[in-house]
Amino acid sequence: MTLSLTLVCLGAAFLLSLVYSVTNPKIEADIRARIKINLMEVCFPDAKGIKQSEEDSTLWIAYDTLGEISGKRRFEEIIKDTLWGVFDTTGVQVGIAFKVFPRGYGGPIETFVGLANDTTVIGIRPAGPAEGLKETPGLGVKINEKWFKRQFMGKREKEILLKKDGGILDAITAATISSRAVADGVREGIEEHKKYLTSQN
């Protein structure tokens, strides 16, 4: 009896490790690709489509509504899973992109931020509910609405404050905590990471 149970356990463990070894590389590749898409979304916030180049796997391409190319970018990891240098096709650094995790009403709000070399925000992308956002449905989740995200575009660090805090950004009605969290996270992230911009070196 003990021998049978041992063999069953060993067999189950072997099968689990086999499944893990087969599926894990695919899962990790999918996560890396999703990160690159998020990075492209903050570099080209008006893009209607994003995909990896078929000729060059390090190059990502953004498309407009007509299917025309909006731009191409490469990303170089500076701090693992947190900060990337953003480069054009000639290898010139055009900015950085980074992740911040400001605390909102329901918990941390993972937010990607694209920053140009002149320290202006190119775009932002807060996580959605499917990615773990726990803000109040119908209220805090509106941080993903286009009008809210577009307010950050072209702004500099000191401008990124809600009107209620003496700034120029509109808060989401009945979701001031979520709105303030994103604004504070972006502003503090710029302060922390702007030293990696080529114009700041």
Whether the per-residue pLDDT at 19 is higher than 70: the answer is: no
> CA–CA separation, 189 vs 175, rounded Å?
21
Q: Which residues, including other chains, have CB under 8 Å from residue 200's CB and lie 6 or more apart?
A: 119, 194
- Map tokens 């701090």 to a residue: 79
Residue 199 has a pLDDT of 65
> CA–CA separation, 102 vs 104, rounded Å?
6
Whether the per-residue pLDDT at 10 is higher than 80: the answer is: no
Domain boundaries defined on the chain? 2-200
Beta bridge partner(s), residue 169: 162
Residue 178 has a pLDDT of 96
Residue-wise pLDDT for 112-166, tens only, equals 999 999 999 999 999 988 888 888 888 899 999 999 999 999 999 999 999 999 9
> CA–CA separation, 32 vs 125, rounded Å?
16
